[in-house]
Amino acid sequence: MLSVSDETTEAPVDHTAQRRVFRPDDAGYAEEIAGMQTGFATRPDLVFGAENADDVVAAVAHATGAGLPVGVQATGHGVPGASEGGVLISTRRMDAVRIDPGARTATIGAGARWGQVVEAAVEHGLAPLNGTAPSVGAVAYTLGGGLGILGREFGYAADYVRAVDVVTGDGVLRHVTRDSDPELFRGLLGGGAQLGVVTELEIGLVPVARLYGGALTFDGRAVDPAAVLRGYEEWTRTLPDEVTSSLAALVYPDLPQLPPHLRGSYLVLIRVAFTGSEAEGERLVAPLRELGPTVSDTLREMPYADSPSIHGDPDFPHAYYGDNAVLSTLDVEAAADILTLTGPDAAAMHILQLNHLGGALARPAGNADNAVPYREAGWLLRILSPLDGTDVEAHRKVHARAFGLVAPQTLGRSLNFVFGGNDRPEGLYDPETRKRLAGLKATYDPANLFRRNYSVS
Segments in the chain below pLDDT 50:
1-17, 365-367, 453-457
Determine the pLDDT at residue 262: 83
CA distance 56 to 36: 22
Burial degree of 142 (CB within 10 A; 0-12, 13-18, 19+): buried
Locate all alpha helices (DSSP H) within 328-391, ordered by sequence. Answer: 332-341
| CA gap 379, 358 in Å, rounded | 8
What is the pLDDT, as a whole number, of residue 81?
60
- CB burial string 158-192: b at 16+ within 10 A, e below: bbbbbbbbbbbbbbebbebebeebeebbbbbbbbb
Q: Are 348 and 396 in contact (CB under 8 A)?
A: no
From the list 307, 306, 266, 270, the residue with the least C-alpha distance to 286 is: 270
Question: pTM for this structure?
Answer: 0.92
Q: What is the pLDDT of residue 13?
A: 38
Burial class (CB in 10 A: 0-12, 13-18, 19+), 280: middle
- Decide if 196 contacts 175 (C-beta within 8 A): no
Q: Rounded distance, CA 130 to CA 156, Å?
A: 9
* Per-residue pLDDT reduced to its tens digit, 189-204: 999 888 999 999 999 9
The pLDDT of residue 77 is 77
How long is the chain? Answer: 457
pLDDT computed for residue 12 by the predictor: 39
Q: Would you tell me how many other CB atoms lie within 10 Å of the CB of residue 429?
A: 22
- CB burial of 67-105 (b: ≥16 within 10 Å; e: otherwise) equals ebbbbbbbbbbbbbbbbbebbbbbbbbbbebebeeeebb
**Euclidean distance between CA atoms 223 and 221, whole angstroms:** 6
What pairing do the DSSP bridges indicate for beta strands 87-90 and 379-386? unpaired
pLDDT of residue 9: 36
CA dihedral 56, 57, 58, 59 (to 10 degrees): 50
Q: Give residue 15's pLDDT.
A: 36
User: What is the rounded CA–CA span in Å between residue 288 and residue 242?
Assistant: 17
Q: How far is CA 126 from the centre of its chain?
A: 21
pLDDT at site 423: 64
Beta bridge partners of 70: 87
419 strand-pairing partners: 322
